[in-house]
Structure 1
């Protein structure tokens, strides 16, 4: 298998391909644990109701789910925090969560994981975002979204920004996770965050569903998926030519330093102003659930970059991490030990 780069360990800087595994494993097992990250964005809870379907309701042509289990998991920006923490980095979150059942569960969950929650704001009149999925034997039957996607109040923005100001000198990276649920709707607010990160030389990465991409100027990289890229620039992506046009347009209009596009089974494409487009193949695994895979990708790339890896190596590592989580059901995270095993299997 071809790898993007490896260890440079002679005087001429010649790349020695035999060292890439050790480089990746050292980064994962040693460097990640020394990094500190703040995730700002739309904090969510993913609720799973599972059971067995044996008959159709006599009341309507719908299946009857015989309840077996209710499970709660971190979703949205919460899942990015979960991923980064599981990879070993010191982690904090900022966003909104009500003081309701789900919001309190999320706070407790973070505290149990050692994730700082002082940046979680309970805005008056705003509920905690919850996505409830009903499923049987891994097959989703129905999803119910309970959310408030209005832009957060100015006072809430100031509290979040104030928390960032307090933390900034201690941070290695900031991730903006925008699911269009209100926290990062304001382009001016996003730009303030980016400018502060640039001032303190803190890596800033963005995963956003927003079409207001001009707000991402000077971000280290932005990570939309294929559909989000197409919607943001108004180009239907049906072939490589369209992908190149869309990627170039997104990079120019956003002003970001790099564009990382997750493309499902086709892997990841990276666009830079100087290097054009480069593709990285996804790991060939049995896919059970792609939910949350994008969160894993931005978490792994961000940590790898601040740990000293080049973008090509960071993306390769992220592909391996995503290859672990998509073999499981639900929004899950990969551990350093699991990622190292995936590296050894290559």
Structure 2
């Protein structure tokens, strides 16, 4: 099935972010305040948010299009330069003057994140930009198998964009384009009638109005989300406890984590939605797609910084290079 990933065509719509890292070491406490002094030795930048989802998708071998907004600034140009080095269509990336590109800067010392600071402006893009986004969606949507909505709460995922997207995907009821959503707390009103939504357990609990503390509350949350959002499936990620898939008229399916060690969860949600969507668009069923996304997440959390998983790494993980006991979960044994 992994060899089929190259046949998948996926559009990612969402908040584009630049992830910046300052790497260094801590040798003393500041005399000015009780905080560590980090001696920065190097700096790196990576695609974040929806751009990281696209990076995950293309690294797995699928074709992709990106739709989102950056600022008309140096950070926006840096993201575009990075995207130009990937096999991704960026005709739907629009620069908006007066709107800064969202930048998340993380200071990392001795393998530990010390602090993160965000430079951004949240809010719906200008009316002119929204019209460009709608035009792009109208022109390109029928060329893809699935749309990923990557919502980081910066404003790209909004009522006008989601209403237009849903209207377009429902036009051809015989062969509708699927929608998968990586949600943001506070924006669940935009996610009705989608094919799959992938909240973490905190986001799911916030939407349902109660804390998820055990299997009973987890199952209650999954059922509540299926009913309230009228979505076809819900995949709740649970950190060290793995993930659980909820489908209409089916029993919940729990998938334990395969991560051996966790260094950094940055971008893990992007990897889950990216891998899940590529697998789904390649013809896998929901449960098998969830299994593969669980493997992919187990790989990236063992690496420091925003990272992605290749198709070859995924094959190795499933076929016995790291977790051989999971291979039997897939029909046919070896994953190709």
Common fold by TM > 0.5? yes
Per the alignment, residue 171 of structure 1 pairs with 144
Per the alignment, residue 72 of structure 1 pairs with 45
Q: How does 1:238-317 map to 2 (within 5 A)?
A: 238-317=213-292
Cα distance, 1:274 vs. partner? 0.8
Q: How does 1:315-330 map to 2 (within 5 A)?
A: 315-330=290-305
Count of matched residue pairs:
318
The 3-state SS of whatever aligns with 2:169 is helix
Counterparts of 1:233 and 1:151, CA distance in 2? 25
Counterparts of 1:326 and 1:208, CA distance in 2? 20
Tell me if structure 1 keeps the 8 A contact 2:15–2:150.
yes
Counterparts of 1:274 and 1:268, CA distance in 2? 19
| Residue 130 in structure 1 maps to residue 103 in structure 2 | yes
Q: List runs of 5+ in structure 1 lacking aligned partners.
A: 1-26
Runs of 4+ aligned structure 1 residues displaced above 6 Å come to none
Cα distance, 1:218 vs. partner? 2.2
Tell me if structure 1 keeps the 8 A contact 2:16–2:70.
yes
Cα distance, 1:255 vs. partner? 1.2
Cα distance, 1:99 vs. partner? 2.2
Counterparts of 1:204 and 1:105, CA distance in 2? 29
Tell me if structure 2 keeps the 8 A contact 1:213–1:250.
no
Which of 18, 41, 45 is equivalent to 1:45? 18
TM-score, normalised with respect to structure 1? 0.89
Counterparts of 2:259 and 2:22, CA distance in 1? 30
| Residue 194 in structure 1 maps to residue 169 in structure 2 | no
The 3-state SS of whatever aligns with 1:199 is coil
| Residue 161 in structure 1 maps to residue 134 in structure 2 | yes
Q: List runs of 5+ in structure 2 lacking aligned partners.
A: 325-336
Per the alignment, residue 228 of structure 1 pairs with 203
Tell me if structure 1 keeps the 8 A contact 2:158–2:190.
no
Tell me if structure 1 keeps the 8 A contact 2:259–2:301.
no
Counterparts of 2:277 and 2:70, CA distance in 1? 25
Counterparts of 1:141 and 1:211, CA distance in 2? 27
The 3-state SS of whatever aligns with 1:238 is coil
Cα distance, 1:56 vs. partner? 1.7
Tell me if structure 2 keeps the 8 A contact 1:174–1:197.
no
Calculate the aligned-residue CA RMSD, in Å.
1.3
| Residue 98 in structure 1 maps to residue 71 in structure 2 | yes
Cα distance, 1:212 vs. partner? 4.1
Cα distance, 1:234 vs. partner? 0.9
What per-residue deviation string (whole Å, max 9, x for no partner) do you get for residues 304-345 of structure 1?
A: 112111111111111111111111001111001111110122
What per-residue deviation string (whole Å, max 9, x for no partner) do you get for residues 143-165 of structure 1?
A: 11001111222222221121111
What per-residue deviation string (whole Å, max 9, x for no partner) do you get for residues 186-227 of structure 1?
A: 2x4313212312334212101111434343222110111000
Counterparts of 1:192 and 1:235, CA distance in 2? 32
Tell me if structure 1 keeps the 8 A contact 2:72–2:98.
no
Counterparts of 1:276 and 1:207, CA distance in 2? 22
Counterparts of 2:117 and 2:293, CA distance in 1? 30
Per the alignment, residue 150 of structure 1 pairs with 123
Counterparts of 2:196 and 2:229, CA distance in 1? 10
Per the alignment, residue 17 of structure 1 pairs with none
Counterparts of 1:52 and 1:149, CA distance in 2? 32
Tell me if structure 2 keeps the 8 A contact 1:39–1:92.
yes
